[in-house]
Structure 1
Amino acid sequence: MKNISKILKTIGIIFLFLASISLYSQTNKKDFQVDGGNYPFPKNDAQHPCISIEEYEVLNKEVGENLRKLHLEDRVNRNSLTTSLNWPLQTASGFTQCSYHFIGAYVDQNTATTAIQDYDCGTNTYDGHHGTDIAIWPYSFYKMDNNQIEVVAAAAGTIIQKADGNFDRNCSSNTLTANSIIIQHADGTYALYWHMKKNSVTTKNVGQTVAAGEYLGIVGSSGSASGPHLHFEIWSGNTNTTYKDPYSGSCNLLNVNSWWASQKPHTDPAIMKVSVNTTDNIMPGCPTTETPNESDVYVIPFQGDGLPAGYAKFYVFLREIPANSLLTMRILNPNGTAFSSWTYTVPTLNKISYWGFSKLLPTTDGNYIFDATYNGQTCSKSFTITHSLGINDVTTADSFNIFPNPTSDEFSLSVYSLESKTYTYCLSNITGQIIETDKITINNHKWEKSFLISSLSKGIYFLTLNDSNSQIVKKIIKN
């Protein structure tokens, strides 16, 4: 009997050990679930250029006519210092991101129609390209729709050409007019700013001056554009045949010196952005606006659509990071210690790429930081964990009833035994985004309403009913 007891005890220990291994493996699998990869951005090419030959001909004529009308050729100071260019983009006030751009194409230095070469002897260009394409990412159309990246004057000068009011959600070559501006500098050189957002171009008119760094417009996708980007082009004279390359490099055959006040590197590996997401982001491609699904606040208990309970999605967005590079990621507690950390080896070199990790959220209230580091460069994002909605006076009265709950496509709100007066109801998601809100008047202490939510993602929602003195909050679970 003693031997049998020992055997059973041993079997029990083995079972518990195997069960713990199985549980750890399942947790580990969830905790290191990763998706993403290369982002195949659309790009102009020789058959679909940013500015066609026909458009250049129209521009040359328009610029010449405007110069004569304004007598600007007589004012050019050929002895002035060569124009020094600042970066022609900036983030809008209140918007921050570790980095927001990548170079889709440089000036083509090879005049042969069967070969390409950029200023650094690379191939980041397309045949016959006369400018620098500066694309914005991630969520380029979301950035455009929300006016997050501004085009600014790289140098002071006079407006020679301006176009606005044109369609701005193009994805390929076309004959549509771009929203644009051309500025003549004091030394007689010109800068072209192309593809801007509709109705975003400066209200200043042809003949008026702008200062270096002054707002010109919003990055868009107007004209012959493959997606939101700025086509930035430099001329030494008043026609496109005088185009130059602002970058200095061993294969720049157009000009010796750099025109940039501070030239950025040809290849610039970086973590562009990190984010904490309630579920997978949605990037449908040009011209549809992306859905980031990001949040700064997570109410515990948290259930993200398509994620294990208590998990969120942690994203990193990369630019030109070499294959086999190591990324180190951390979730930092409010006191700066690590709540969790992990590493990931980038499998291949891509122009731009993104990687998403399903990770367990902290459950202690406080302000946390998610950061990612590559080659000593760190990009971070703060987020908050809370168990409350930040409501001063919350009433969970029986007089406020929701059914069915959980639900899949609709629910009804029934209010009774409440004081007859005006209230405001608000349906919101777990990030605080308002889905529906309105004022109602309750008569005879009763009120009912049905809500259709079939189009909403699975997860937790909140319905709030409030007046000037109190709030009633109910949680709704959508399956």
Structure 2
Amino acid sequence: MMKLLYFILAMITLSVSAQTESIPQGGEYRFNSDIIPCITTEQRFEIKNKLKMARKVLIDKGILPLQYKSASAPPKFIIPVKKAANTAMNEVWAISYFVDHNLEYPNKLQDYNCGTRTYDDGNKGYNHQGTDFYTWPFSWYQFQNNMAEVVAAAPGKIIYKHDGEFDMSCDFNNNQWNAIYIEHNDGSIAWYGHLKKNTLSTKAVGATVAAGEYLGVVGSSGNSSGPHLHFEVYDRNDNLIDPFTGNCNSGSSWWQNQVPYRNPTINALLLHTAEIAFNTCPETETTNISFQFLPNTSVYTASYFKDQLAGTSAFYKLYKPDGEVFAEWTYLFNENYDSSYWYWHFNNLSDLGEWTFECTYQGKMVQQKFKVVNLISVAEENLEKLSLAPNPVSDKVKFIGTLPDAENYQMKLYNTIGQEVFKTPTFLSQFDLGNLEKGVYYLKVYNNLSGVSKTYSIIKR
């Protein structure tokens, strides 16, 4: 189960021109703290047998070669997770665990960098054999809204895929996962596991995919403690490959640009109407995210980090609509955390217009815009709470929630390469996608009066 293990209050240096709390709220958020094996030995054996049979069929059809040239170079990977178009977040993933290079157990751990960011299980005889990319922040909110997409790390051919399994697991259950398997031009194979049900690429087995091409949505199928991608790689001789290179894994990296062992990043700057609270798996978080506030009401400015580094500082600014700095402060991190969150409370933002919340960390700056307005209509408040169902969809899809005034909105639907598929000058509570090809689409809903918009990801089956 995903758990918040630590809640840490820390004093900060705060220099502001307005009233605010001088003590931040927040702390560390840990993924898979219960150490759930992604695949059992029996499941891995079964998967390899299925891949062997699937490859034989593709070889007989001439889709795969009988043998690969020994000089064929291995692929160079890109990160296999990316944010969808419908998210305001800067990034949607973090790494929890790498491949375990110490085959002894229990608690005999060694990752590629000679650290212990991996795990084993003595009871099940398990050493972690992949890289786990988990969604952060608000994993289940991302899951429900298809915000974290799995993409091909390198070009290749789909040799096998499995779908239809339960995708909201929170513990070890011995279930099968939803997964897709890609063979590259050197004969190596990448496994993409734990995907969300009915979101896998509609391309057939044997089809070619490009690097960065959509494969599915991050889910929690199979043995899983929450939404994440298990990325596992084998060379053409079926040897397990850790694509990362370091002091405890010599050789060449399989990444185009290997990310650092600690990769400090601002995953998101968000504004909330209430204090941050996380969920009990698999409940979807009540995020209380908003980008519009009434004057002098509670505004929680929140920052979400991956790979927070002890001894580093984050620098914050809050700008008024006229560009004047309303508040600025610095927060010093005292611990290393895989993922963390920190937020501050304001209740005296009175100037009407567009404000800017800014954070600079490790030389990289992220901004988030929000508005202070005199009036937030019921329809405006509920725009953030609207959802589409069913999703994935075969034909008709409809909005669930309090519907806005139709004449104040317009809607546009785009495909994954940004082409406009259709548009409507008013809000439609229900529409039919039956004539569209299978794939992922993005529906953008605009408010003609305020300019506020929201984008929804739709998977057409």
Counterparts of residues 40-189 of structure 1 (less than 5 Å): 40-43=30-33, 45=35, 48-71=36-59, 72-74=64-66, 76-114=68-106, 115-127=108-120, 128-189=127-188
- State yes or no: 1:298 paired with 2:293: yes
Contact 1:67 1:73 in 2 (8 A): no
Distance in 1 (CA, whole Å) between partners of 2:202 and 2:294 is 44
Question: What whole-Å deviation, never above 9, does each CA across 1:366-418 have from its counterpart, x for those lacking one?
Answer: 2110012223322221111122458xxxxxxxxxxxxxxxxxxxxxxxxxxxx
Per the alignment, do residues 432 and 317 of structure 1 end up closer, same or farther by CA in structure 2, a change over 3 Å counting? closer
What amino acid sits opposite 2:245 in the alignment?
S
Cα pair 1:44 1:173 within 8 Å, conserved: no
For residue 358 of structure 1, the aligned residue among 339, 345, 354 is 345
Contact 2:182–2:189 (Cα < 8 Å) also in 1: yes
Alignment of 1:196-215 (within 5 A): 196-215=195-214
Instruction: From 436, 458, 469, give the equivalent of 2:402.
Output: 436
* Higher relative contact order, chain-length normalized (CA < 8 Å, sep 6+): 2
- Residues 438 and 133 of structure 1, relative CA distance in 2, 3 Å threshold: closer
**What is the match of residue 376 of structure 1?**
363
1:74 match: secondary structure: coil
Question: Residues 260-292 of structure 1, C-alpha deviation per residue, up to 9 Å, x if partnerless?
Answer: 011100111222211111112331132111121
Does the Cα contact within 8 Å between 2:20 and 2:344 map onto a contact in 1? Answer: no
The corresponding residue for 2:273 is 278
User: In structure 1, how many angstroms separate the alpha carbons of the residues matched to 2:173 and 2:260?
Assistant: 32
1:251 aligns with 2:268: no
Match of 2:312 among 305, 325, 348: 325
The Cα offsets for residues 37-58 of structure 1, whole Å up to 9 and x where unpaired, read as: 111322463xx31111001110
Given that 2:81 and 2:151 are in contact with CA atoms closer than 8 Å, whether structure 1 keeps it comes out as: yes
Unaligned runs of 5+ residues in structure 2 are 1-16, 121-126, 387-400, 406-461
Q: 1:28 to 1:93 in 2, by over 3 A?
A: closer
Which 10-residue stretch deviates more, 427-436 or 80-89? 427-436
Q: Residues 70, 238 of structure 1: CA spacing in aligned structure 2 closer, same or farther, 3 A cutoff?
A: farther
- C-alpha contact 1:190 1:238 (8 A) present in aligned 2: no
**What is the one-letter code of the residue matched to 2:30?**
P
| 2:390 corresponds to | none
TM-score by length of 2: 0.74
- TM-aligned CA deviation for residue 80 of structure 1: 2.8
- Paired residue secondary structure (2:402): strand
CA deviation digits over 1:171-223, x for unaligned, max 9?
12221110101111111111000000011111122222212111100001101
Offset of 1:161 from its aligned partner? 1.5
Structure 1, unpaired ranges of 5+: 1-26, 303-309, 391-425, 440-479
Does the 8 Å contact 2:156/2:208 carry over to 1? yes
Question: Matches of 2:54 and 2:23 in 1, distance apart?
Answer: 59
Q: How far apart in 2 are the matches of 1:259 and 1:283? A: 35
With over 3 angstroms needed to count, the CA separation of the structure-2 counterparts of 1:282 and 1:213, relative to structure 1, is same
Task: Give me the identity figure in percent.
Answer: 35
CA contact (8 A) 1:77 1:186 kept: no
Residue 36 (structure 1) aligned to one of 18, 26, 41: 26
Check conservation: 1:158, 1:185, Cα contact below 8 A: yes
Residues 279 and 176 (structure 1), Cα distance of their counterparts in 2 relative to 1, 3 Å cut: same
**What is the 5 A alignment of 1:197-236?**
197-236=196-235
CA–CA separation in structure 1 for the residues paired with 2:190 and 2:365: 34
Contact 2:321/2:351 (8 A) holds in 1: no
Post-superposition offset of 1:30: 5.1
Instruction: Give the partner amino acid of 1:209.
Output: T
Change (3 A) 1:176 1:331: same
Question: What is the TM-score of this pair, normalised by structure 1?
Answer: 0.71
Contact 2:169 2:225 in 1 (8 A): yes
Shift of 1:325: 3.2
State the number of aligned residues.
364
Asked whether the equivalents of residues 89 and 150 of structure 1 are also in contact (C-alpha less than 8 Å), the reply is: yes
Distance of 2:31 and 2:280 partners within structure 1: 8
Q: Secondary structure at the match of 2:308?
A: coil
**Corresponding residue for residue 194 of structure 2:** 195
Q: Quick one: distance in 1 between partners of 2:227 and 2:50?
A: 25
Partner of 2:432: none
Provide the residue aligned with 1:464 in structure 2. Answer: none
Aligned residue in 2 for 1:6: none
Deviation at 1:298, TM superposition (A): 1.5
Query: Is 2:328 aligned against 1:341?
Result: yes
